[in-house]
Amino acid sequence: MDLWTFQRYEQPRLCVDAIDCHESDSIVTLRAGPHQYRLAFDNASAASEIAAELTTLRNSKAPLWTALKEAEPDTGWYELMRFLDTRSLIGETRDPEHGLAEQASTIEAYIDETAITVIDALPSNRRALAATYAASQREVLRNGQIPRGAYRGNMDPFNPEEHSNFYLALLALEFQYFRRSCLLTLAAVEKLLARIAGHEDSRIDLTQDPEFSEVSGVFDLRDLQCHLWLIAQCIARSTSEHAERFKTAPTPKLTLASGLEFMRQTELLTRETLAMWGPNRYVVALEQLTDPDSSLIAGPYIEQYHVTRRFVEIVAPLLSTRLATPLRNMMFRYFGEEFGHEALESATCEALGVTKHALDVMLPLPLHFAFVDALTTMADLDPVTSFAAVMVIEGVFGEPPKLSLRLQSVGETSPAFRTVSKEHDELNETLNHNSISRDCFENISAVSALRQLQTIRRVLFLLELNHRAWDDIAGFYGSQRKLTIQGPFGRPLDPQM
């Protein structure tokens, strides 16, 4: 961490009630509330001069502040200011209302531009349906908590019989994530839904809304922009013919089972379901690809960077859960083994022609952004599902990394790409990350039939989210002749910026 110094104040002011110095005395006395500080000087003249200068510092616009902010350490004035600052006698006078107003203005612009770009471009019939869905989703946002344990009355977004529209179910999951991680985003999303629904309160002055005026600078506005884009995309896609949940393999008759037996059955169900779906659009496109310079190669690494840079968030909720010692140790180890992997993904992207600055400015494709939110929410709601869901991230135990191998074979003409892309894949294989689910369930002696059903539904939903996210990569990057990435509000962005 950086050491705090008084020179980091933007508009500093000396906050004391009185500064006293008698003509015959070499003592300067500062009073602040019940506190009193006596500064001794060599002579009365020096004390009087310092007292006069300190008096000017009670005004944040005093010229002396400019010089003090450039003062070198170990000088007399620097040491005096450091002393006063460590006694909390220097305050910041920058106008806090400006920060709140600026934040509100930025969010309002994000909401408007997102709605215009995504929703207003829809055909009239889908725009009307989007308005209907947005209105109903406002109620879900306010009242629709996802059950943590057994079903207790709220609709279960993971049950396709209750939520047959994939994107509306994903919205319920996102709302749960916002409740946990960012109330500012939750409030902004409600404003976006009101805007799409055409509700009158969508135009309320945000500076007067307590959800927006409590703090400024705490929450990341770029992430908020990404989430607004995600929510608008979900509303738009919920009106399409492709919104219906995928069919899955039938769930077997469930009875009380050991953890390992449950995991075995979940693996079988996963394999059968994936076989029903067939390869995603990205895999199909990659199998037909011969051009090693195609944007289709760069796409997954660009999007996976945005998953990897947040990956430890997926594990973090489990670190504060009172897990049994073997499980707790395993999760701390998993966290440590994943920490910092984004550097490998960033290096891969750079080898493919995407700068770090471009990665930080772009907007991830919405379903890849949602994938991290969903897994993080699962870790918060339900450790059992979170353990099983590692299989969705790291691959089913025993299955070779076919996609990684195919990417490497197509991109093998680029030595830089081949070196950095293989490093992460080999690291995961060395660390046995596709064994984590089994390792976890080895320590779980029993799982009830109800919890098994709940976990299966959640894992199948995450599988579908992952499948659709890869479809998106094929759709966005597959048609490009020259690589571009998704900028704010979906605008094309130069990867070399």
pLDDT (0 to 100) of residue 400 = 55
Statement: residue 406 has pLDDT above 60? no
123: tokens are 């055909």
pLDDT (0 to 100) of residue 231 = 98
pLDDT (0 to 100) of residue 287 = 84
Query: Which residue type, as a one-letter code, is found at position 304?
Result: Q
> Please, which pLDDT band fits residue 410 given cuts at 50, 70 and 90?
low
The CA distances from residue 265 to 253, 269, 354, 431, in Å, are 11, 6, 42, 24
Residue 2 exposed, middle or buried by CB count within 10 Å (0-12, 13-18, 19+): exposed
Statement: residue 428 has pLDDT above 70? no
Query: Which residue type, as a one-letter code, is found at position 257?
Result: A
Q: Distance between CA 65 and CA 124 in Å, rounded? A: 60
Residue with tokens 């010692």: 325
pLDDT (0 to 100) of residue 249 = 95
Q: How many CB atoms lie within 10 A of CB 270?
A: 21
Least confident of 12-21, 208-217, 363-372: 208-217
Residues whose CB falls within 8 Å of the CB of residue 456, separated by 6 or more in sequence, listed in order: 251, 266, 269
Fold of 259-493: Heme Oxygenase; Chain A (1.20.910)
Reduced to 3 states (helix: H, G, I; strand: E, B; else coil), residue 440 is helix
| CA diameter of the chain | 95
Tens-place pLDDT, residues 275-286 = 999 999 998 888
Residue with tokens 């947040």: 310
Statement: residue 403 has pLDDT above 60? no
Least confident of 150-154, 476-480, 493-497: 150-154
450: tokens are 């109800």
Q: For the residues of 207-259, what is the DSSP string, one character each?
A: GG-HHHHS-SSSS-HHHHHHHHHHHHHHHHHTTSTT-BPPP-PPPPP---B-H
303: tokens are 């999007």
318: tokens are 């489990």
Tens-place pLDDT, residues 434-492 = 788 899 999 999 999 999 999 999 999 999 999 999 999 999 999 898 999 999 999 99
The CA distances from residue 229 to 352, 367, 490, in Å, are 26, 10, 8
Contact 352, 417 (CB under 8 A): yes
Q: How many CB atoms lie within 10 A of CB 471?
A: 18
Contact 289, 351 (CB under 8 A): no
Least confident of 142-151, 178-187, 266-275, 414-423: 414-423
Buried b (16+ CB within 10 A) or exposed e, 370-391: bbbbbbbbbbbbbbbbbbbbbb
- Helix residue spans in 31-143 (DSSP H): 44-56, 63-68, 76-86, 96-114, 124-143
Statement: residue 152 has pLDDT above 60? no
> Please, which pLDDT band fits residue 338 given cuts at 50, 70 and 90?
confident
Residue with tokens 């450790």: 383
Contact 380, 173 (CB under 8 A): no
- Helix residue spans in 115-218 (DSSP H): 124-143, 166-181, 183-197, 210-213
Locate the domains of the chain by residue range.
6-92, 96-237, 259-493
Tens-place pLDDT, residues 55-74 = 999 999 999 999 999 999 98
The residue ranking higher by pLDDT, 157 or 247, is 247
Residues whose CB falls within 8 Å of the CB of residue 102, separated by 6 or more in sequence, listed in order: 216
Q: Distance between CA 122 and CA 236 in Å, rounded? A: 8
β-pairing, 485-486 vs 18-20, is unpaired
Strand partners of residue 257: 447
